[in-house]
Amino acid sequence: MATSTSISERYVLVTGGAGYIGSHCTVSLLTAGYKVVIVDNLYNASYESIVRVARIAGVSSVPFHKVDLLDQRQLSAVFARYPIWAVVHLASAKAVGESVQRPLDYYHINVTGTINLLRAMKDAGVRNLVFSSSATVYGDPPIIPIPETSPLKPESPYGRTKVVIESLVRDLCDSDEGWNAALLRYFNPAGAHETGLMGENPKGVPYNLMPYLAQVAVGKREYLNVFGSDYETKDGTGIRWVNS
More confident residue, 94 or 28: 28
Residue 206 is predicted with a pLDDT of 63
Residue 199 is predicted with a pLDDT of 64
Residue 138 is predicted with a pLDDT of 94
Identify the CA nearest to 106 among candidates 162, 38, 44, 168. Answer: 162
Kindly report the pTM of this predicted structure: 0.82
Residue 113 is predicted with a pLDDT of 98
Exposed, middle or buried by CB within 10 Å (0-12, 13-18, 19+), for 68? middle
More confident residue, 129 or 200: 129
Residue 207 is predicted with a pLDDT of 63
E-state strands within the chain: 11-15, 35-39, 64-65, 84-89, 128-132, 180-184
Using one digit for the tens of pLDDT, what is the confidence trace for 144-192?
888 999 999 999 999 999 999 999 999 999 998 999 999 999 877 766 7
Taking 70 as the threshold, does the pLDDT of residue 244 lie above it?
A: no
Taking 90 as the threshold, does the pLDDT of residue 213 lie above it?
A: no
More confident residue, 13 or 140: 13
- Rounded to a whole number, what is the largest CA-CA distance in the chain? 67
Residue 121 is predicted with a pLDDT of 97
d(CA 89, CA 129): 7
Mean pLDDT, residues 202-231 taken together = 69
Q: Choosing from 158, 212, 223, 231, which is the catalytic residue? A: 158
Residue 2 is predicted with a pLDDT of 46
d(CA 130, CA 137): 17
Using one digit for the tens of pLDDT, what is the confidence trace for 192-209?
766 655 666 655 666 666
Q: Which CATH class is domain 2-193?
A: alpha beta
More confident residue, 234 or 24: 24
Q: How many CB atoms lie within 10 A of CB 85?
A: 22
Q: What is the mean pLDDT of the chain?
A: 86
pLDDT band (50, 70, 90) for residue 126: very high
Using one digit for the tens of pLDDT, what is the confidence trace for 26-83?
999 999 999 999 999 998 888 988 999 899 889 999 999 999 999 999 999 999 999 9
Residue 1 is predicted with a pLDDT of 44
Taking 50 as the threshold, does the pLDDT of residue 16 lie above it?
A: yes
Is 107 part of the annotated catalytic residue set? no
pLDDT band (50, 70, 90) for residue 228: low
Residue 76 is predicted with a pLDDT of 96
